[in-house]
Structures are given as C-alpha cells and as structure tokens.
A and B are shown apart, each in its own frame.
Chain A
C-alpha cells in the first residue's frame, strides 16, 4: 500500500470544490493585502516627511485605498474563506449548492472592484471620479455614487454568504437530529448574526441617504445621523474582523501547541457575549460629537467596558489550552513549559505574537473607551496606533499565521519555506512594535491622525517620549519592516502555490477537553440570543437616534455637498432607477436562489 493511500485525506481531497472557493476568497484577500501594504509604505514615508514623491492631495487617495482595501477587503475576504472552511470542516459535509457560493463570491468581488475603481480613479484627473472620503465616508464629504453602490453590492454578497452557511447548517441539523452545533459552526453562526444586525445600519445609511444624495436625488443629509449609523456598524465590524482570529486561537492554536481546547462551553459563552455586546457600543466612537446627549455616551461607555469581559476570558482559555499542550509535550515548571512550545512553527509563533499584541491593543483600547481621558487622544495618531495593534496585528498576523497552517490543506502543497514564514511573523511583530509605539507616543503629543503633513507652521509639538522627529523616524522604520514582512508573506504563499504536490498534509483538529456535552443547551438557542441582541441594540440606539432626528431632522439643517458628484436630479433619475433595478434584480435572484434551491 502506498504512503499516499495511507495518508489521511486533506480538506481539498474531501471537498475539492469548496477548497477552490476558499482559495479564491483568500486570493482576493491577499491581493487586497498587497495593495494595502504598497499604499501603507507610501503613506508612512509621506507622513513622516522622509519621502514625498506624491502630492499631499494624493495622500488622501492612498489613505482611503489603504483603509478600504485592508479593513474591508483583506479582512472580509479572508473571513468568508475561513468561515466556509470552518462550516464545511466542522459539519463534515459539503455546501448545499456551490452555485450560490460562487454567486456571493462574485457579488463581493464585483462590489469591491467597483468601490476600488472609484477610489483609484482619484489619482487621475482624466476620469471625472473620485472617492477621497476615507473608509469612514463621513457626509457631507461625498464620494462618487460608484463607491457607495460597490459597498452595497459587497455587503449584500456577505449576507448571501451568511445565508449559505445557515442553510448548510440547517441541512446538517436535519441529518443529525439532537446533536450540538459543532463549535466552529457555532462561531460562524453567532458572528454572522452579529453581522446581520450591524450591517442593517450601514445599509440604511447608504441606501436611504448617501446613495440617493450622491445621485442628486436628495439635497442634503444629516451628518450626525449618517455618522451615527456608520458607527452603529463601525464598532461591530471590528469584531467581525476579530472573530475569525478568535476562531483560530480557540480551535487551531491549541492543536498546533500539541494539545486541545480547554473548554468548548466557555468558547461558546464568549461568542454569545460578543454577539450581544458588540453593537450597542458604537457611540463610544462619538464621545466628542456635539448633537448626542451625555447620558447616551455614558451608557455606551459602560457597555464598552463590559465588552472587555469576553476578551479577558479568551486570554485565560487560550493560554490555558496552550499550556496544556506544552505540558503534554513534556514542559514543566511555572513558566518553564513555555520552552516546550513549537516556536519554530510560523503558524504557532505568529498566532502567539498576535495574541500578545492584542493584549497591548486592549490596554490602549481601555484608554480610548475612557469617556473623559479620551479627550486627550481623540483623533490623534494614537488611535491608528491602537488599531494597528488590533486589526493590524491581532487580526492580520493571525490570518497570515493561519494561512501558513491552512494553505497546504487547501492545495496539497507544503509551505514553501517555514523558515521564511517564521522570519516574516517575527518581523511583523518587531515592525509593528516600533510603528505602533511611535504612533501612540505622537498621539500623546497631540499629533493628529489622517493628515498628509503633520508638521505645522504656527507651533511646535511639546517634547515627550522623544521628540516628534525622532518618533517619525521610528514610525518609518517600523512601517518599512512591515512592508518587507508583507512581501515575504505574499512571496511564500505564491511560491507555495507553484510547488509540487505532496501527501500527508492533513491536520485534523481534536475535540475540546471539556466538550459540548458540558455546555448548557441554552447556548445553542440562537433565536434567544438574536432576541436579546436586538433588545440591547434598541435600548442603546432608539433614544439617541430619536434625539438626533428631533434635534436636526432626518435630512439635517441644510448641510452642503463637497464635492458635488451629480448635480442634475432629473437627468440622473433614470440612471439611478437603472442602478436600483439592477441591484434589486440581483438581490431578488440571490434571495430566491437561497430559498428555492
């Protein structure tokens, strides 16, 4: 009998079509990462004044592209790939109909391409189009209608993806009556419920206000209202990035460490807590907004602080699971077991370093969440310093480490170079430590975020933690190391994809020490959690939204439009109608596809 026949089948052996879709999603993610990294290094050098080959006007186009491609495209394409893998693997059954799967993949790809084109067109004046609105697209700054339309198509694509996974789970449930939802599928479903609730607000903001406004159909919007709807979505989206990383920490990291997850029930509790708490906190991004009463800000602050709980629980469970693995590998002593861990494995080291950085990001997050201390750092470069630790490392580095582990099982090709992989994750950690530290420190000096030229004519920054210039240098060195790290990652994955195939690459995941049978049944009652989540969202948002509307009206007090993209309502009405009809048709097709197929 040949070795190949003996080897356990990999994911791609068992589910070749699903593996193809997952690879396609991840290629989308890696393409966005590549573009985002190129824009990132340009920004780092421009902002710090080390090299300014482009104009400061173009800086904002780079900044918009960097933000949108990394926080929307890179993260979410990786998520849909990983979630598809997790659902199929943990249910051990194929998706119901891969035509639907390719449909949502196509919608996401087309939507992101539309949005991407509208942003990149800002580099040339020959095309009358731009979207220099950054990833937050605060009105009354206006992007070309293509920008908003692309976002809507992309988000509807993610909705169909969620429906695809739910349907597959329902089919599995019929085949396996009475069984507990497998942990990874549970994580996918709870995360998607959170996503549906969160994206309702952004869909409303874009479809009711921003898109019609950009088409010239309505004259003005209420800037506080669209901003509030953005952050209704904008905070849970950070957990949408983070939950796939948590899934890898809970279900894959313990296995790589040589052990298994400590507690399946607590993992479920954590995901339920995120479902409940991640949406009713968005107002903490608006602590300094006029037009929102102080009491609502205080409520949002307390909810935000309680959101620390699931992350603190995760820290315990993940470390305990890793320690269990180390002890099984022969590790001993209070801290001596750390030496027994597989530090040469880039997947392991990458995830551990990502987790460590997340702890640091958690500390700066507590400062951000502190209603009154936030005055010091609001809109300073401290804030991007914070989220480059969270989404930029906890999430991004975990995804890269996860790719080192997963990619061979999706391709039957062993990773080209684990050594380069190891160097890559360590470089990311070092680069981010430098860059993020400099950003936090500059933020305390009052250096603003989101600016092409943070040096001003009229004043000098105070000195602390090293001066402004010194920190600029540190920031640029960190950013350059991060760029090199990204290049190494992409190269490793690309070369792997052309490497010869091999067998024996399957890495099955063991069940938890304390399994789902220990988890109270109520945890799997998704309807209950949806209900509570909606009640909490209602409590947190009904009064603030009512207050905003009663203060300044649904369409505001007459804010202008900057710039005006399309000015002649009647001329455009037809075109708008065509767009709406097209989108509706796609939506109807997708939805009927979901329910009838």
Chain B
C-alpha cells in the first residue's frame, strides 16, 4: 500500500496530538487531582430515602476541620437543602441523589457538576474560598417544570456561618438537620 510521505508525516503528527490529549487528561487526574464521579457510594432505594442514613435528613454536616459534607436530594423540581450553606475556605463533599427521575446538579459557573441518578449517589468534592453566592441548577431534563428547578449554594464568612447555625440549628429543627453555610466554587470533583 502506497502512503505518500506527507501523509506519513500527518499520521505521525495526529498520533502525537492524540497522545498529548491523553497525557493532558492523565496530568489533570494525577497533578491537580481531579477525580471523576464514580461508584464510590453504595446505591439506595430511591423511594425509601427516609430510611437511608445519608438522605433521611438532607443537610450539611461538619465532618472535620474545615471539612463539610452536604447530603443533597435533587427532586422534581427542586433541591433539599436549599440554600446549601458552608463557611469560606473549606472543603465540601456533595452527596447527591434523586427520589424520582434523573437530574443534574451543577453549581453554575464552576466545574462542580454531576449527573444525579435515582438509586445512585453522586459524590463530588470541591474547595471553596472567598464568600460568594452561587446558583445551583438541574442541567438534565427532568419533566415539565425542569426549568424551574434551581437552588443556591452560599459560601459565607465564619461569622455569618455561626449566625446561620444559631438561627437554623437550635430547637427541634428537623428540617435542615445540621446547618451549613455556603459554598463556593468547585475545584475538583
């Protein structure tokens, strides 16, 4: 088979490009440490979330120094808790599931983005810095009011976070469970 010299050169360059692209993804994974949403969490019965430790009470919970876990339910057509509040300069891990259909969970303008599949629990970890309020949207079509499905993710200062906790956590607040503050931009998932 005759292959023109220029075509051989082109072929070589194409393979170099492909290897560079694969290399850049690999670097993203091992360098900055961008992990993929995966099957790290046990599946749940989507119609019995109230029997699951993680989702019986959707909430934000402090799990370490500057580390927070947000257990979020994405449902037709909203998010719980809403708002999701965390303090500035913290690491936030979102655990997101759905009691009904497939949804999306995206902190708008950041790379905090995942599919939300009933029966599965999506886990993404992000780092938040300065106080800021973000929009949270469902980015997978989920039914007739899909466009109305939104929430907020608030990253607040330490003081505001304390205030927020006082207001929302005392008494028999079963609704929000642990309080949280606000969140911020997704760094890696």
The segment out of A28-36, A339-347, A374-382, A583-591 that lies at the interface is A374-382
A552 touches B135 (CB 8 A): no
Kindly supply a per-residue 1/0 record for chain A positions 438-478, scoring 1 wherever the CB is within 8 Å of any chain B CB and 0 otherwise: 00000001101111111011110110000000000000000
CB distance from B182 to the nearest CB of A (A): 13
Q: In the complex, what distance in Å separates the CA atom of A224 from the CA atom of B47?
A: 16
Query: Which of B10, B11, B104 touches A448 (beta carbons < 8 Å)?
Result: B104
**A290/B41 in contact, CB under 8 A:** yes
Q: How far is the CA of A222 from the CA of B46 in the complex (A)?
A: 11
Contact present for B18 and A305 (CB under 8 Å): yes
Given contacts A223-B119, A308-B14, A309-B15, contact A462 B109 (CB under 8 A): yes
Complexed CA–CA distance, A559 and B41 (Å) = 17
Which residues 298-342 of A sit at the B interface, judged by CB distance below 8 A? Answer: 298, 301-302, 305-306, 308-309, 312-313, 316-317, 320
Q: Which residues of A contact B150 (CB under 8 A)?
A: 456-459
Known: A140-B118, A551-B43. A297 touches B36 (CB 8 A): yes
- Asked whether, in the complex, the Cβ of B100 is within 8 Å of the Cβ of A562, the reply is yes
The answer to whether residues A559 and B46 also contact, given A222-B119, A451-B141 and a CB cut-off of 8 A, is yes
Complex partner residue of B34 from A286, A291, A313, A375, CB under 8 angstroms:
A375
Whether B108 lies near A224 (C-beta < 8 A) is no
Q: Total number of A-B contacts with CB less than 8 angstroms?
A: 231
Q: Is A556 an interface residue (CB 8 A)?
A: yes
Contact B115 A288 (CB under 8 A): yes
Interface positions of A from 360 to 416, Cβ below 8 Å from B: 366, 369-373, 375-376, 378-380
Note all chain B residues with C-beta closer than 8 A to A376: 111, 113
When chains A and B are docked, how far (Å) is the Cα of A380 from the Cα of B104? 10
B76 within 8 A of A: yes
Q: How long is the Cα–Cα vector from A511 to B172 in the complex, in angstroms?
A: 82
On whether the beta carbons of A519 and B10 are closer than 8 Å, the reply is no
Residues of B within 8 A of A286 (CB): 115
Give every chain A residue within 8 A of B100 (Cβ-Cβ).
Answer: 140, 559-560, 562
Q: How far is the CB of A493 from chain B (nearest CB, A)?
A: 33
Shortest CB-to-CB span from B39 to chain A, Å, is 5
Instruction: Take A459-B133, A459-B135, A558-B46 as given contacts and tell me if A370 and B21 are in contact as well, using a CB distance cutoff of 8 Å.
Output: yes
Are A547 and B7 also in contact (CB < 8 A) when A224-B120, A371-B29 are?
Answer: no
Question: B138: which A residues are within 8 A, CB to CB?
Answer: 448
For B15, the chain A residues whose CB sits under 8 A away are 309
On whether the beta carbons of B25 and A290 are closer than 8 Å, the reply is no
Does B37 sit at the interface, judged by CB under 8 A?
Answer: yes
Q: Which residues of B contact A306 (CB under 8 A)?
A: 18
Among A263, A290, A376, A454, the one with the most B-chain Cβ atoms within 10 Å of its Cβ is: A290
A294 within 8 A of B: yes
Does A510 interact with chain B (Cβ within 8 Å)?
Answer: no
Contacts of B137 in A (CB 8 A): 446, 448, 456
Contact partner, B106, options A263, A448, A453, Cβ 8 Å: A448
A291-B43, A370-B24 in contact; A557/B119 too (CB < 8 A)? Answer: yes
Q: Are B22's CB and A375's CB within 8 A? A: no
How many residues from A make CB contacts under 8 Å with B? 78
Q: Which residues of chain B have C-beta atoms less than 8 A from A263's C-beta? A: 2-4, 7
Given the known interface contacts A294-B35, A372-B29, the answer about A224 and B135 at a Cβ–Cβ threshold of 8 Å is no
With A222-B119, A290-B117, A376-B113 in contact, is A557–B18 under 8 Å at CB?
A: no
> Is A8's beta carbon under 8 Å from chain B?
no
Q: How far, in angstroms, from A551 to B17 measured CA to CA in the complex?
A: 37
| Alpha-carbon separation in the docked complex, A316 to B3 (Å) | 12
CA distance A60 to B138 in the complex (A): 15
Contacts of A60 in B (CB 8 A): 141, 144, 146
Q: A514 at interface (Cβ–Cβ under 8 A)?
A: yes
Q: How far does the Cβ of B7 sit from chain A's closest Cβ, in whole Å?
A: 6
Pick the most buried of B37, B104, B121, B148: most chain A CB atoms within 10 A of its CB.
Answer: B37
Residues in A whose Cβ lies below 8 Å from that of B110: 446
Interface size on B, residues (CB 8 A): 74
The CA-CA distance from A560 to B102 in the complex, in Å, is 11
Q: Which of A132, A316, A560 contacts B47 (CB 8 A)?
A: A560
- Cα A181 to Cα B139 in complex, Å, equals 47
Cβ-neighbour of B39 out of A138, A293, A313 (below 8 A): A293
Q: Separation in Å of the B54 CB from the closest CB of chain A? A: 13
Contact of B109 among A132, A305, A309, A461 (CB under 8 A): A461
B165 in contact (CB, < 8 A): no
Q: Which residue of A lies closest to B118 (CB)?
A: A559
Smallest Cβ distance from A320 to chain B, in angstroms? 8
Known: A293-B38, A458-B135. A451 touches B147 (CB 8 A): yes
Which of B34, B111, B134, B148 has a CB less than 8 Å from the CB of A459?
B134
With beta carbons under 8 angstroms apart, the residue of B45, B135, B188 that contacts A557 is B45
Within 8 A of B (CB), among A524-540: none
B residues near A456, Cβ cutoff 8 Å: 135, 137, 150
Question: Which of chain A's residues has its CB closest to B25's CB?
Answer: A371
Between B41, B139, B148, the greatest number of chain A beta carbons within 10 A of the residue's beta carbon is seen for B139
| A287 proximal to B (CB < 8 A) | yes
B114 interface contact, C-beta 8 A: yes
Q: Chain B residues near A451: list those with CB within 8 A.
A: 139, 141, 146-147
Nearest-CB residue, chain A, relative to B1 = A265
For the complex formed, measure the closest distance between the CB of B134 and the CB atoms of chain A, giving whole angstroms: 7
Distance in Å: Cβ of A283 to nearest Cβ of chain B: 11
User: Is the CB–CB distance between B43 and A552 below 8 Å?
Assistant: yes
A288's partner among B47, B114, B121, B142 (CB-CB below 8 A) is B114
Q: What is the chain A residue whose CB lies nearest that of B7?
A: A316
**0/1 interface trace, chain A 56-67, chain B, CB 8 Å (1 if under):** 110010010000
Residues of B within 8 A of A (CB): 1-4, 6-7, 10-11, 14-15, 17-18, 21-22, 24-25, 28-29, 34-39, 41, 43-48, 76, 100-102, 104, 106, 108-123, 133-135, 137-148, 150-152, 186, 188-189
Given A60-B144, A224-B117, A291-B117; 7 other pairs, CB 8 A cutoff:
A60-B146, A132-B144, A224-B119, A312-B10, A372-B25, A379-B139, A556-B118
11 residue pairs of the A-B complex, CB under 8 angstroms, read: A56-B147, A227-B102, A289-B120, A305-B18, A312-B10, A313-B10, A380-B106, A446-B106, A452-B147, A459-B108, A552-B120
